């Protein structure tokens, strides 16, 4: 049974992860800024992530899409903390340098439109680091997300250190509320 749908966006498609994505996932997850990440990503972690992505989607806890452009996986758009009752979810965007900002914007819009239509999700949020996540912030602001909170020392980065987290939100009530290129939220 297929739990993660294929969703087309202008320039590419969102699709379920599969075993051929392992190397790309390892590349994407070399970032040491990820919560709880103490070592660099490995093949084993990536394989486990693919298995988890199916389990998450099957139980509506989360979802992981590969962002594919011209047949190549260039990023991931993921949902965590998916709360079907509260119609909300926390998202992540992890990309390789090869994908353009416009493609990321289109992919995110298409993913959110799909989630709104299919699951009626309306409250989308991103947690970003104050430094290091500028590229992601650029993308999500273009899609209409706005910063709503600055959570001090919200994420633990080591035994004794913490990082602040910026919370960005976008609330959708109808499909037509998704802003289009050049529009603000």
Partner 1 sequence: MNWNLNTEHYYVRFAHEEDIPNIYALLGSNEVVKNHPKNPMVVEAQAMDEARRMVMQFEAKEAAFWLVEEKSTGKVVARLSFQKFNWVSASAQLRVDVFSDHKTQSVLSELIYAVATLAYEDLSLHRIEWLLLESDHSLVDLAKALGFNHDGQLLSFLEFEGSWIDYQVFSLLKTDTAWQQAIKNHGLGKS
- CA 126, CA 104: separation in Å to the nearest integer? 14
Q: How far is the CB of 85 from partner 1 (least distance, A)?
A: 8
Q: How far is the CB of 124 from partner 1 (least distance, A)?
A: 10
Our CB check for partner 1 shows the closer of 19 and 38 to be: 38
Structure tokens, 16: 């379920």
Q: How far is the CB of 86 from partner 1 (least distance, A)?
A: 6
Q: How far is the CB of 7 from partner 1 (least distance, A)?
A: 24
Our CB check for partner 1 shows the closer of 48 and 156 to be: 156
- CA 63, CA 34: separation in Å to the nearest integer? 18
Q: How far is the CB of 144 from partner 1 (least distance, A)?
A: 13
Our CB check for partner 1 shows the closer of 15 and 155 to be: 155
Residue matched to tokens 């994407």: 28
Q: What is the DSSP string of 107-166?
A: HHHHHHHHHHHHH---EEEEEE-TTT-HHHHHHHHHHT-EEEEEEEEEEE-SSS-EEEEE
Our CB check for partner 1 shows the closer of 102 and 149 to be: 149
- CA 21, CA 16: separation in Å to the nearest integer? 10
Our CB check for partner 1 shows the closer of 119 and 154 to be: 154
Burial of 145: CB neighbours in 10 Å, binned 0-12, 13-18, 19+: buried
Give the footprint of partner 1 on this chain (CB under 8 A): 36, 86-88, 122-123, 125, 147-156, 162, 167, 169, 171
Question: Is residue 119 a contact partner of residue 61, using CB atoms and an 8 Å limit?
Answer: no
Element spanning 54, H or E: helix 43-58
């Amino acid at each position: 049974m297929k739990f993660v749908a294929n969703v087309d966006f202008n320039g590419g498609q969102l699709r379920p992860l599969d075993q051929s994505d392992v190397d790309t996932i390892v590349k994407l997850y070399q970032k040491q800024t990820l919560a709880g990440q103490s070592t660099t990503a490995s093949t084993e972690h990536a394989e486990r992530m693919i298995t988890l992505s199916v389990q998450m989607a099957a139980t509506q806890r989360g979802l992981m899409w590969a962002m594919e452009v011209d047949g190549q996986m260039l990023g991931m758009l993921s949902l965590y903390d998916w709360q079907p009752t509260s119609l909300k979810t926390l998202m992540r965007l992890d990309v390789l340098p090869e994908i353009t900002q416009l493609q990321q914007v289109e992919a995110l819009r298409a993913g959110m439109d799909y989630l709104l239509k299919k699951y009626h999700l309306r409250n989308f949020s991103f947690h970003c680091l104050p430094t290091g996540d500028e590229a992601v912030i650029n993308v999500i602001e273009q899609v209409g997300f706005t910063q709503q909170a600055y959570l001090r020392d919200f994420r633990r980065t080591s035994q004794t250190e913490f990082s602040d987290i910026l919370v960005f939100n976008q609330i959708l009530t109808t499909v037509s509320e998704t802003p289009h290129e050049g529009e603000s939220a």
